[in-house]
Chains A and B, each alone.
Chain A
Amino acid sequence: MRYTFGGDEHVFVEVDEAMSLDAFFRSLSITNAVRDSRIRGVTEICPANASFQIRFDPDLIAPDDLLGELRRLEGAGAGGGELRTRIIEMPVYYGDPWTHETLMRFRERHQDPTATDLAYTARINGYPDVPALVAAHAGSPWFVSMVGFVAGLPFLYQMVEPERQIQAPKYLRPRTDTPKLTIGHGGCFGAIYSVRGAGGYQMFGITPMPIYDPAQTISYLREFMIFFRPGDIVKFRPIGREAYDAAVAEVEAGRFCPLIREVDFSLPAFQADPAGTNAALLGVLHG
Chain B
Amino acid sequence: MADARPPLEIAKPGLATTVQDLGRPGYYHLGIPLSGAMDREALVAANLLVGNHEGDAALEAVFLGPEIRFAGDATVAVTGADLPPRLDGAEQPGWAAFPVRAGQVLSFGYLKAGARAYIAVAGGLDVPVVLGSRSTYALGALGGHEGRALRAGDRIGVGAPRRPPPAGAALPDALRRRAEPVLRVLPGLYDHRVTAEARERFFADTWKVAPEADRIGYRFRGGRPLDFVPREPPFGAGSDPSNIVDSGYPYGSVQVPGGTEPIVLHRDAVSGGGYFMIGTVIAADMDLIGQLQPHQPMRFARVDMAQALAARRESAERLARVRAALA
Contact = CB atoms under 8 A, between A and B. Distances in A.
Given A12-B248, A53-B250, A149 B270 contact: yes
Nearest to A151: B140
A51 B29 CA distance: 12
B51 interface: no
A95 to B, nearest CB: 24
Contacts of B186: 5-8
Nearest to B250: A6
Given A10-B250, A148-B30, A151-B31, A19 B139 contact: no
Nearest to A20: B235
Interface stretch (A69-77, A83-91, A98-106, A187-195): A187-195
A14 B191 CA distance: 13
Contacts of B31: 147-153, 194, 226
A43 B25 CA distance: 8
A17 B29 contact: no
B248 A148 contact: yes
A197 interface: yes
Given A44-B29, A63-B305, A9 B250 contact: yes
A5 B305 contact: yes
Interface size, B (range): 35 or more
Contact of A7 (B32, B239, B273, B281): B281
A17 B281 contact: no
Given A8-B305, A52-B248, A186 B274 contact: yes
A250 B299 CA distance: 54
A53 B248 contact: yes
Contact of B189 (A12, A55, A153, A225): A12
A201 B140 CA distance: 19
Interface size, A (range): 35 or more
A260 B243 CA distance: 34
Find the residue from A7, A43, A46, A188 having the highest chain B CB count within 10 A: A7
A9 B237 CA distance: 26
Given A16-B245, A48-B246, A194-B31, 18 more contacts: A4-B188, A6-B252, A8-B186, A18-B237, A50-B247, A52-B248, A58-B312, A149-B270, A149-B272, A150-B271, A152-B31, A169-B238, A187-B237, A187-B238, A189-B246, A212-B140, A214-B142, A229-B30
The list of the 7 closest CB pairs from A to B, nearest first, reads A19-B236, A6-B250, A7-B280, A18-B234, A148-B271, A151-B140, A10-B250
